[in-house]
Amino acid sequence: QSALTQPASVSGSPGQSITISCTGTSSDVGGYNYVSWYRQHPGKAPKLIIFEVSNRPSGVSTRFSGSKSGNTASLTISGLQAEDEADYYCSSYTSSHTHVFGTGTKVTVL
Amino acid sequence: QVQLVQSGAEVKKPGASVKVSCKASGYAFTTYGISWVRQAPGQGLEWMGWISTSYGTTKYAQNFQDRVSMTTDTSTSTVYMELRTLRSDDTAVYYCARDETAVKDYWGQGTLVTVSS
């Protein structure tokens, strides 16, 4: 199972919106609505920010939103803040009943 | 509150095995599975496998199929991950995460496993 493809880095200025893509295949992202997103600050454990494509866990800011079209899922962060500077990973369930993560995206707040 | 507490850092020699524990609290243990995820230094997240805490059934990633074992002890609400025949590229932080329907909503603090001769 190959990792899902994410851009290595995305940057934006405070207050702007950015979007991170996550491209897979019809055997993972495109085939299931079990796509989730995680944020990881340096030296910390990942934190769930979006599950089942577009749902936010309780306590996660409404600035985070998720969507999916075909084999590509997307995470949008609106009103970019300094605390959003972190690594972001998508993940999907697969047709082999396994899970796969994306390659990860480093978000920089300019 | 939900907590997953992992065992401490380990240093192992190549060819040895390591067993990492993950003790859950704050919820009904058998209502959620547990996934194990690892992260090599400076690298991304890699899913290793999942165990049902109620039935003990497992699903492993192909990369680890022949070297990993995951077990559960419902009496202590603890899940174990054993990785055998360690190599230097198994040096990583290993995380457990509460996981049902591929949603990893709570994570342990991570366990650093260093493989070095």
Q: Does B32 touch chain A (CB under 8 A)?
A: no
> What are the chain B neighbours of A104 within 8 Å (beta carbons)?
44-45
Task: Select the residue of B44, B50, B103 nearest A51 (Cβ to Cβ).
Answer: B103
The 3-state secondary structure of chain B reads CCEEEECCCEEECCCCCEEEEEEEECCCHHHCEEEEEEECCCCCEEEEEEECCCCCCEEECHHHCCCEEEEEECCCCEEEEEECCCCHHHCEEEEEEEEECCEEEEECCCEEEEECC
Q: Could you tell me which of B114, B107, B113 has the C-alpha nearest to residue B5? A: B107
Amino acid (one-letter) located at B9: A
Asked if B47's CB is within 8 angstroms of A100's CB, the reply is yes
pLDDT tens, N- to C-terminus, chain A (110 residues): 799 999 999 999 999 999 999 999 999 999 999 999 999 999 999 999 999 999 999 999 999 999 999 999 999 999 999 999 999 999 999 999 999 999 999 999 99
Distance CA B103, CA A72 (A): 18
In the structure, what pLDDT confidence band is assigned to residue B95 with cuts at 50, 70 and 90? Answer: very high
In the structure, what pLDDT confidence band is assigned to residue B100 with cuts at 50, 70 and 90? Answer: confident
Candidates A6, A98, A105, A106: best to mutate against B (most CBs of B within 10 A) is A98
Please name the residues in contact with A88: beta carbons below 8 A apart, sequence gap of 6 or more: A6, A20, A37, A38, A39, A40, A75, A104, A105, A107
Question: Per residue in B37-82, pLDDT tens?
Answer: 999 999 999 999 999 999 999 999 999 999 999 999 999 999 999 9
